[in-house]
Amino acid sequence: MDRRNSRRDAEGNSVITANRLLDGRIVWLAPNGQWKTLIQDAKLYPNSTVEEALKVRTAHAQENGLVGIYGVQVTQTASGPLPVTSRERIRAAGPTVHPDFTPDWHAPHPAPHA
Amino acid sequence: MSHAPSAALPVGHYSYDAVDRTFLKQRVAQFQDQVERRLSGALTEEEFKPLRLMNGLYLQLHAYMLRVAIPYGVLDAAQMRTLAHIARTYDRDYGHFTTRQNIQFNWIRLEDTPEILNVLADADMHAIQTSGNCIRNVTADQFAGAAADEVLDPRVYAEILRQWSTLHPEFTFLPRKFKIAISGSQQDRVAARFHDIGLIAREGDNGRPVFEVFVGGGLGRTPIIGVRLRDDLPEEDLIAYLEAILRVYNAHGRRDNIYKARIKILVQALGAEEFLSQVNAEFSAMDRARYRLPEATVEAIRARFGAPDFAPAGDAAEKLVAQRKSDHAFDAWVRTNTHAHKQPGYASVTVSCKPAGGIPGDVTSAQMDLLADLADRYSFGELRITHLQNVVLGHVRQDALYDVWQALEKNGLGEANIGFITDIVACPGLDYCALANARSIPIAQKLSSRFANADLQREIGPLRLNISGCINACGHHHAGHIGILGVDKRGEEAFQITLGGSAGGADASVGQILGSAMSEDETVDAIARIIDTYLSRRTAGERFIETCRRLGTAPFKDAAYAPA
């Protein structure tokens, strides 16, 4: 895993993210334990507890169909959690060069298995 | 070296037979099984990752990315239509041409991948060895078999190297990835000196090819110009000698440190003389008969390539002259986007995939279909992807250029900017890449828009601008006359400028860092001031790179960091 994924301050909050194994799509762990496609739905964890939560979730990665579970430090804003690094902001919002490719983008003509 | 291939063979690339096709289908079935075992949990992600990478499937920032091989950058119209179909059906309606003459699809689903590989296999294509620590796609001159200045066609040898290196049991787990480029012209259009092995072919005394061999070049975090190991490697020893180089690298390359694992580090650590001595010792000890490349084998491979059946029109040149006179925009495009062909009455066309403000190397499925149609109609059904992220129609009759240009113009592919400042090379950067520190594309778009004026571009003249989103240098920034490197400053992106790099020929050079990193907008402004400095300081007829070399970096640094 990228070393950048485990960097976070002692203080502050993080959210938990992963990629779905089947389609690679980015998901965020919501308060109800479901994995959602929008960061706005993510549960906030104090940085002091997020490592423990990550351990638990990583142990269930295969049964949940996930890969690459890690924590992302965020700040809280009126529109929801906002990652503190530009890398994670782009990952959460989609490529800046295709504003239409938001995380809830759907293919106009889905692929055979979509 | 003459031959008469069957007209039924695809022009420009090797024609698969039943053995090749069976191999590809078996490979797809193998990957299908691996995917099923991954989904069932029989394979862990750690176990599966190297297997998917060997089939070109990465997990990037937003999704899986599939990198499809385009051997030596050549494909036929049917293959291009297959790529368009994949973009339209399984991705988001576009693809990205890479600096290794391949194509990447950025939104692939793991569960679709075996089916996509099947679709590719039906078109004699695959994604094998587009990733992993193996010998990657061998790149070649985009004007191979067409250029007036070519001595011999390098594609036959690129194909021989492809066949030699594909699933080579000794070289499937090298210390690090390995890149080979080959040119058949003394005009080095493949950046031979920036490759793990660079080959420049010419005709030898006996009428058969000999190869100049460069080794240990590369970009990345340690940019190094390769050293010349041989000047006159005979054709029959090509495989044996490369095998010897790879064996020395495989035995002594650093596997303990990924940053020191490329062959360039080994060559530098041993010194060129000692490295050469070890290669020669290995070469001498080899069973040379086993590795000999006989002329008959070369000719058998050559016979599997189709060749264009040229039929020049007697008045093609006159017609072209008249069309250029009557349409200035067309004349400008002909000047920048065509290349002299060895066959009188023909030209090679470079189709710019760099529209003003666009994304370098991105092409929609509709544009891919158009390019395939144009190839069928005007260029013997053959296309090439360049390492500068454009597309070449290799053999276009001069009296057809106007029709080709008009079709390209209507579809956003008619930019007359090849070799100019807006013909920018850029990696996908942080918008897609999991390794990137900064976005490459938005700054490319801003620069492309800033210098979009055609008169200004012509005034500036030839200039290579390359952008990489991290030190891995997929955008070859060190080799750009102006290079931009994206860096991470405490979680925010910033950009360093390098100056004076050059990719080709004996004057290959590594760009020098001008100073500290700046924001995206500051970098765009700084480059505009660098250009102003060049325009005001150049002597008559002096190109940008020549002015840089004459003046050194100091005046450009002063301009770049001048207070706003």
Q: Give the distance from residue A32's alpha carbon to the nearest chain B alpha carbon, in angstroms.
A: 24
A109: pLDDT strictly greater than 70? no
Q: Is A111–B112 a contact, with Cβ atoms under 8 angstroms apart?
A: yes
Output the pLDDT for position A5: 66
C-alpha span between B486 and B513 (Å, rounded): 12
pLDDT band at A10 (very low <50, low <70, confident <90, very high): confident
* One domain for residues B227 and B277: yes
Output the pLDDT for position B3: 40
DSSP B518: B
Cβ A45 vs Cβ A53: under 8 Å:
yes
* One domain for residues B252 and B174: yes
The residues facing A77 across adjacent strands are A80
Which tens digit of pLDDT belongs to each residue from A54-72? Answer: 999 999 999 999 999 999 9
| Domain boundaries, position B106 | 18-122
Q: Give the distance from residue A22's alpha carbon to the nearest chain B alpha carbon, in angstroms.
A: 5
* One domain for residues B550 and B483: yes
Cβ B436 vs Cβ B429: under 8 Å:
yes
Length of chain B: 564
Cβ B379 vs Cβ B373: under 8 Å:
no
* One domain for residues B282 and B324: no
* One domain for residues B160 and B215: yes
C-alpha span between B563 and B541 (Å, rounded): 30
Q: Which of B267, B302, B337 is the last residue of a domain?
A: B302
* One domain for residues B26 and B62: yes
Residues 11 to 50 of A: which have CB under 8 A from any B CB?
Answer: 19, 21-26
Output the pLDDT for position B1: 36
Complex ipTM: 0.93
- The residue with tokens 């762990």 is A29
The three-state secondary structure class of B86 is helix
C-alpha span between B560 and A108 (Å, rounded): 45
B462 is a domain residue: yes
B129 is a domain residue: no
Name chain B contacts of A95, Cβ cutoff 8 Å: 62, 431-432
B97 is a domain residue: yes
Q: Hey, what amino acid is at B252?
A: H
* One domain for residues B182 and B284: yes
Output the pLDDT for position B6: 47
* One domain for residues B440 and B535: yes
Residue of B61, B424, B427, B448 to mutate, interface with A, max A Cβ within 10 Å: B61
B226 is a domain residue: yes
Output the pLDDT for position B5: 43
Size of interface A-B (CB pairs under 8 A): 91
Q: Hey, what amino acid is at B326?
A: S
Q: Is A23–B115 a contact, with Cβ atoms under 8 angstroms apart?
A: no
DSSP strand pairing (B425-426 vs B362-364): unpaired
Q: Is B45–A67 a contact, with Cβ atoms under 8 angstroms apart?
A: yes
Output the pLDDT for position B77: 98
Name chain A contacts of B359, Cβ cutoff 8 Å: 97
Q: Which residue of B has its CA nearest to A84?
A: B491
Q: In chain B, which residues touch A (CB < 8 A)?
A: 38-39, 41, 44-45, 59-64, 88-90, 92, 107-112, 115, 359, 430-432, 434-439, 441-442, 445, 488, 491-493
Which tens digit of pLDDT belongs to each residue from A29-45? Answer: 999 999 999 999 999 99
* One domain for residues B268 and B390: no
Q: Which residue of A has its CA nearest to B359?
A: A97
Cβ B286 vs Cβ B246: under 8 Å:
no
Q: Does A1 touch chain B (CB under 8 A)?
A: no
Cβ A23 vs Cβ A14: under 8 Å:
no
* One domain for residues B449 and B533: yes
Cβ B545 vs Cβ B500: under 8 Å:
yes
Q: Give the distance from residue A27's alpha carbon to the nearest chain B alpha carbon, in angstroms.
A: 10
Q: Is A96–B432 a contact, with Cβ atoms under 8 angstroms apart?
A: no
Output the pLDDT for position A86: 92
For residue B504, the domain's CATH number is 3.30.413.10
* One domain for residues B157 and B287: yes
Name chain A contacts of B488, Cβ cutoff 8 Å: 87
Helix (H) or strand (E) holding B512: strand B512-513
Going residue by residue through chain B (564 aa), what tens digit of pLDDT does each one get? 334 444 479 999 999 999 999 999 999 999 999 999 999 999 999 999 999 999 999 999 999 999 999 999 999 999 999 999 999 999 999 999 999 999 999 999 999 999 999 999 999 999 999 999 999 999 999 999 999 999 999 999 999 999 999 999 999 999 999 999 999 998 899 999 999 999 999 999 989 999 999 999 999 999 999 999 999 999 999 999 999 999 999 999 999 999 999 999 999 999 999 999 999 999 999 999 999 999 999 999 999 999 999 998 889 999 999 999 999 999 999 999 999 999 999 999 999 999 999 999 999 999 999 999 999 999 999 999 999 999 999 999 999 999 999 999 999 999 999 999 999 999 999 999 999 999 999 999 999 999 999 999 999 999 999 999 999 999 999 999 999 999 999 888 999 999 999 997 889 999 999 999 999 999 999 999 999 999 999 999 999 999 999 999 999 999 999 987
* One domain for residues B95 and B221: no
For residue B379, the domain's CATH number is 3.90.480.20
How many structural domains compose chain B?
4
Q: Is B445–A67 a contact, with Cβ atoms under 8 angstroms apart?
A: no
